[in-house]
Chains A and B, each alone.
Chain A
Amino acid sequence: MTGGGLTALLAVFCALPFLVALYRLDILIFMLINVILAVSYRFLTLAGEFSLGHVVMMGVGAYGSALATKEAGLSVWLAAPLAAAFTGLLALLLAFPLFRMKGFYFLIGSFAAGEAIRLSWNRFRDPFGGPGGIVFIPSPEIPLPVLGMVDIAADPIAYYFFTLAIVVITIVVFYRLERSRFGLTLHAIHWQDVLAESVGVHIWWYKTFALVLASAFAGLAGGLLGHYLGTVNPTQFNLHIMLFVLVWVIVGGTRTIAGPIIGVVVLTVVDQGLRSLDEWRPLFYGAILILTVMFLPHGLESLPRRAREWWEWARHRRQPPVSDDEEPPESDRPPPQDA
C-alpha cells in the first residue's frame, strides 16, 4: 500500500459517515477506534513477537482516563493523553520481564500480565468499580464561539471526525516510523535477531520502544472508547476481544500497514452483515475466518495481487497461478520498500 493508497483510504473514510444511515455511525466510530488498536498492534509485532495483552493496554488507557476525569477532576483533553502516556509507562515496566521471553512464551507471558491487570479491575472495587466498572465518565467538550461548551461525544458525526483525526495521526506516526531506520531495524530483528544482536543492535530497547509506543496508542484508543461510551468495565478487555484484534490483523495481513486497516473494516462489515443470524452468527464468522486464511494466507491485503495472478491465469490459461507456498515464507520476506 502506497501513500497514494492511504490518501484514497482517507477520502473514503471522510465520505463514509455521509453514506450510511446516521444511526449506524456508532459502528464506524468503534471501527475507527479498532483501527488504532489494530495498527498499533501490528507495529508491536514487527519485531516478531505477538502479544495477547494489547486490549488490556487499551483498557489501562480507558480506566486511567476515566479515573483522572472522574476522581481527579482533570479535563478530558489532559486526562486522555496522560492516561495514554501512563499506559506506555506501564508497558515499559512490563517489558522487563516480558522481553526475557520469546515466541509462545512471550504470547502467554503477555496474556498473564494483561489478565492480572484486568482481574485487578474486577477485584478491587475501589477505585476500579469491580465487574460493573466505571460509569458516567465525562464527555470531551470543546468551547465554541457561539455555542459555548459543546459535548462532542453527544454528536456522532463530530466524534467520528475527531476519532478519524486521531486515526490519521496514528497511521502517519506508525507509517513513518516503520520506514525509518528504527523500523528497518525492527524488521531486521524479526528475521535475524542473533545477527542483529551481534552487530551491536540492542534488541531489548528496540522491542521495548515498539511495545511502549504501541501500548500508548492502544491507551489512547481506550480513552476514545471510554469517553464516548461513558462506561468502562473489565469484560470489554478480555481474551475474547483480544482474539478479535489478532483476527483483524492476521486476516487483514501483516505485511503492510494497510493490512490491519483492511482487516478491521472488512470484518466489521462482515460482522454487521451476519447480525440477523443472532445466535448463529459466530459460526459463520468462524467459517469466513477459516476460508479467508485458507485462500489468502497472507491476508486480505494480498487479494489484489492474488486476483491479478488469477486473472492472468484465466486470460492465458497457460500456467496455474503462483501458489502462496512458492512465495518466500514470512521470515524471509524483503524489507518493505518505501513508496
Chain B
Amino acid sequence: MGKKGLTRRQFTGTAAAAAGAVAASSFGAPYVAQGAEKVVKLGFLGPLTGEVAGWALPGRNACLIWADQVNAGGGIKIGDDNYMVEIVSYDNEYLADKSLIGAKKLVLEDDVKLVLMLGGTDAPAAVQFFTKQKMLSTTLLPSDLTPDTLYHLAPAEVHPLYNVTGVEWLAENRPELKTAAICAQDDELGWPSVATYLAAFEAAGIDVVYNKYFDIATTDFAPVVTAMLAENPDIVCLDTAYPDFVNLLCEQLFLQDYKGQIISCTLDFYGRIIEKTSTEFLEGLIFQFPDFDDPAMNEPHINFENPNEFFVNYNERFPDAWSAVTWEYPAIAEMWRLAAEKAGSVEPMAVFASLKEGGRGPHVFGDADWWGEELWGIDNALVGNWPVVQIQNGKATIVEYRNIIDWWNKHGELLKKHTAEQG
C-alpha cells in the first residue's frame, strides 16, 4: 500500500503543476463559449512548437482573433440559430504520426467541423483519415492534393502556381533581362516552386544559368549568394523560401554588391529588409504578396471585407507580425463561415458542397475556379487571379492582377514537364 500512496502523491504533484500551468497559460487558451449558446468547433492541426512553428502558430493566433470577432458579432448565423465559434488546436510537431493522432482527436473527440492545416510532410496520413471520415480540411499547400483527397481544399494559397504571373509580368515589362539564377530551399515548398519558375522562365524565353537548392538548416547564406553571383545573372530568383531566408538572402545580395533584378515569391517585412539594405537596392523587386492597405485591394473583385482596415487592425494588435500565412488562415475560416451560412449548416459535407457549388468560389483576389485536375488530379484548389507586386519607392505596390489559368492554357505543358523533372 505504502508505495502506492507515494506514487499517487507524486502523480498529484505533477497534476497540480500541470494544472497551475494551464491556469498560467489561460491567455493562450482557446475562446470558451459561455451559457447555453450553440458552439461550433473548428480544428487547427499544425506545428505549434519546433522549427516550423513560425508557419502555423501566428496563423492559429490570427484564427483566435477571427473567432473573437465573429463571436462578438453574434456568432455564425445558421437558420435561426447563432453558433459561437471555438478554435481547438493540436500541436502535431510537423510529424506524420502526431498529425494522425491529432486528426483523430479533433474529429472524434472534439467533433470539429473543419480542420485547418499548414500542409506538407505531416499531412498524408491525417488527410487520408479526414477523407474516410468525410471531414472537411484545408491546406496552404496545394501540392498535398491528390485524386484521393476528396474533401481537402486549397482555398487561399495556390502556391506555387501564382509565381508564373510575376515572371510573365517581368518578361513583358523588362524584356532586356535574359538570364536568371535560382536558389531554392530544399523542401516541399522549394521543389514545386522551382519547377514553376523554370517553366515560367522558359515560357518567357529567359535562360536559367544557375539552379541549386540549399539545406533548410542553412545558417549562413553568404556561400549561396556567392555561388549565384558567380554566374552573372540578370535576374536573381529566390524561389519560395522561408521569409527569414528571403530576408537574409536579400541582405547578402546587397552586401555582395548585386545590382540587378530580384524576383521572389514572398517578401514579408520588406521594411526591415530595406532597413538592412537600402531603398534603392530593393526598388523594383517583384513578388506575389500585397499589403492589404494597397489601393488595388479595394477593387470590386476582391473578396475580403475591409482589407485596409483589417491590415491596420492587425498591425496594431500584432505589431511586426504581418506575413503571408497570418491572413491566409483567417481568410479560409471566413470563407468557411460564409459557406456555412449559405448552406444553413455547419456540417462538413454541407459546407463542402456549398463551397464548391458551381465550380467557382470567392477567392480573396477575385472569384476563381475550383481547378487542379490537370496538375494534381482533383479540382480542389481555388485558382484565378493573383497580384504581381513590385516595390516602388519602398512600398509594396500591386502592379497588375494576372490570371493563372490563362498562363496555364498557354504554357501548361512546360509546367508539367518541369514538375515531372523536378520529381
Contact = CB atoms under 8 A, between A and B. Distances in A.
A329 B3 CA distance: 24
B303 to A, nearest CB: 31
B50 A240 contact: yes
A235 B108 CA distance: 27
B14 A236 contact: no
Given A287-B17, A303-B7, A279 B96 contact: no
Contacts of A18: none
A276 B91 CA distance: 9
A15 interface: no
Q: Which secondary structure dominates chain B's binding surface? A: helix
Contacts of A87: none
Contacts of B215: 119, 122
A126 B421 CA distance: 11
A23 B105 contact: yes
Given A30-B97, A279-B49, A308-B2, A130 B108 contact: no
A225 B28 contact: no
Contacts of A22: 108
Q: Is the interface of A mostly helix, strand, loop or mixed?
A: helix
B95 interface: yes
Contacts, number: 119
A281 B49 contact: yes
A240 B47 CA distance: 14
A307 B1 CA distance: 10
A131 B94 CA distance: 12
A126 B105 CA distance: 35
Interface stretch (B117-125, B250-258, B308-316): B117-125
Contacts of B22: 276-277
B49 A133 contact: no
B121 A275 contact: no
A136 to B, nearest CB: 8
A67 to B, nearest CB: 15
B6 A311 contact: yes
A335 interface: no
A97 to B, nearest CB: 24
A282 interface: yes
**The 3 residue pairs across chains A and B that have the minimum distance between CB atoms:** A311-B2, A307-B3, A23-B108
Interface of A: 21-24, 26-27, 30, 119, 122-123, 125-126, 129-133, 135-136, 225, 229-233, 235-236, 240, 270, 273-284, 287-288, 303-304, 307-308, 310-311, 314-315
Given A273-B18, A307-B3, 10 more contacts: A21-B109, A30-B97, A30-B101, A119-B215, A125-B423, A235-B121, A236-B95, A277-B21, A277-B25, A279-B48
